[in-house]
Structure 1
Amino acid sequence: MTEKIGYTGTVLVAGATGKTGTWIVRRLQQYGVGVRVLVRSVEKAASLGDVDVVVGRIQSNDDIAKAVKGCSAVISALGSSEVFGEASPGEVDRDGVKRLADEAAKAGVKHFGLVSSIAVTKWFHPLNLFGGVLSMKLEGENHVREIFSQDGRTYTIVRPGGLKDGEPLQYKLKTDQGDRIWNGFTNRSDVAELLVLSLTNEKAWKTTFEVVTEEEAPQQSLDYCFEGLQKG
């Protein structure tokens, strides 16, 4: 049975064929939300079910503009897969996210959700040996915050721990702000759930927060994760 969260717009998912992106599409579909995806080929979207497909590249402003047209929200699960070239952190985690935010704002998109990472402010973190990936993610974050703090727009930036697979709502989650969590893991499905809930939960709007799992314990909802978050 399809659940509802009271969201009637169409959501563009960027990075939809990645592991986290696939979960975002699934959770949107679970709640009956219309989904559009930006993918490099129709074949890549074949496993995503009933979605509106736009073929294009995150390196192209024109392709992004076509993808965001008519959407009310964007959720980005973009992530680099190479140190150099088109799939590098600079091209994807920084410039790709920046282009996506710019074109979304131009098109009238009201909400932007972003998958980032814990430790993005720690330039000395070992992960930065991979093309400065954490620093690139932080630059992408900063741009989203700047653009989607204006003109009635909103954003939600989720910084998970090490990403793992598994069904959603199986763990109690710990949230924090200020990039103070250094260790831990987070299920991709729970990251997806939080970003989907952020479409309608005003407590999630204009927030950036870290999230990791605690003890295994079935959850009825993850809305509690937004309680007490500071805006900005």
Structure 2
Amino acid sequence: MERNKVYNGKVLVVGATGKCGQWVVKRLLYYGVPVRVFSRERDKAFRLFGEHVEIITGKIQSVSDIALAVKGCDAVISALGSSSYSGESSPADVDRDGVKRLVDEASKAGVSHFGLVSSLAVTRWYHPLNLFAGVLLKKWEAEEHLRSVFSRPGLSYTIVRPGGLKDGEPLHHKLHVDTGDRLWSGWINRSDVAELLVVALWVERAKNKTFEVVNDIEEEQSGLEQYYDLLPE
């Protein structure tokens, strides 16, 4: 596979300066995909990515900022994540409302595919993580909104629900995938979450899928596309 032939569109990465978002950008650049990042902090984005990406500065709370960021993009990958209990960085403001605004503006701008980093256990209101301002419930609401908007004809989505996130290079583990939010625990490298969302841009069987994923055994992988074959139609 020629790296610069896999996908011809431009991809907006939101939450790009976070740990998972950085890997999304790295994997897109690995495949030669044009990248635009949307960040509150232009200097931080430039330190991380230099001139390899286009940078749009703005806030996820601003519809006009989002509209500018998505304009001219063919796909969006969101690695947004809240970092406080309240205020502009809360789960309600970022994981739910921020993603919802992004979904709406992306669909208006003609974006055809939307990838989202969600979380294991989003359907379980009783999960301990919901003590953090209901973060899983907010992610679930964002998922539902994405599915409702990007299930329309000509649009598609891929929602990845990872287990606990850790650092490490991609393609060093077999993965365990499932649907229906039945997995209770497990870890996965952020780099593999990024890889799954990036290859979903051109893997047709990844379209309109929501699934959970965690590491299995250590074993070198030539790619991760094959895991989409394991998901139900």
TM over 0.5: yes
Aligned residue pairs, count: 230
Please state if 1:48 is matched with 2:49: yes
Aligned to 1:96: 98
Deviation at 1:3, TM superposition (A): 2.6
Aligned to 1:211: 213
The residue identity in structure 1 corresponding to 2:189 is N
Distance 1:5 1:182 in 2: 38
Q: Aligned pair in 2 of structure 1 residues 163, 5: CA closer, same or farther (>3 Å)? A: farther
Higher helix content, 1 or 2: 2
Structure 1: segments with no counterpart, 5+ residues: none
Aligned to 1:165: 167
The residue identity in structure 1 corresponding to 2:125 is W
Deviation at 1:228, TM superposition (A): 3.5
Aligned to 2:24: 24
| Seq. identity, % | 61
Distance 1:30 1:83 in 2: 35
Structure 2: segments with no counterpart, 5+ residues: none
Aligned to 2:107: 105
Cα deviation per residue 1:143-167 (whole Å; 9 max; x = unaligned)?
0000000131000000000000000
Deviation at 1:230, TM superposition (A): 2.9
Aligned to 2:134: 132
Residues 139-218 of structure 1: pairs in structure 2 closer than 5 A: 139-218=141-220
The residue identity in structure 2 corresponding to 1:18 is G
Asked if the contact 1:58/1:96 (under 8 Å) is kept, the reply is yes
Asked if the contact 2:175/2:214 (under 8 Å) is kept, the reply is yes
Q: Secondary structure at the match of 1:75?
A: strand
The residue identity in structure 2 corresponding to 1:128 is N
Aligned to 2:79: 77
Aligned to 2:9: 9
Distance 1:230 1:76 in 2: 24
Cα deviation per residue 1:94-114 (whole Å; 9 max; x = unaligned)?
000000000000000000000
Deviation at 1:210, TM superposition (A): 0.3
Aligned to 1:220: 222
Deviation at 1:48, TM superposition (A): 1.5
Cα deviation per residue 1:176-228 (whole Å; 9 max; x = unaligned)?
00000010001000000000000000100000000000000010010111014
Deviation at 1:5, TM superposition (A): 5.3
Deviation at 1:41, TM superposition (A): 2.3
**Which contiguous aligned blocks of 4+ residues in structure 1 show a shift greater than 3 angstroms?**
none
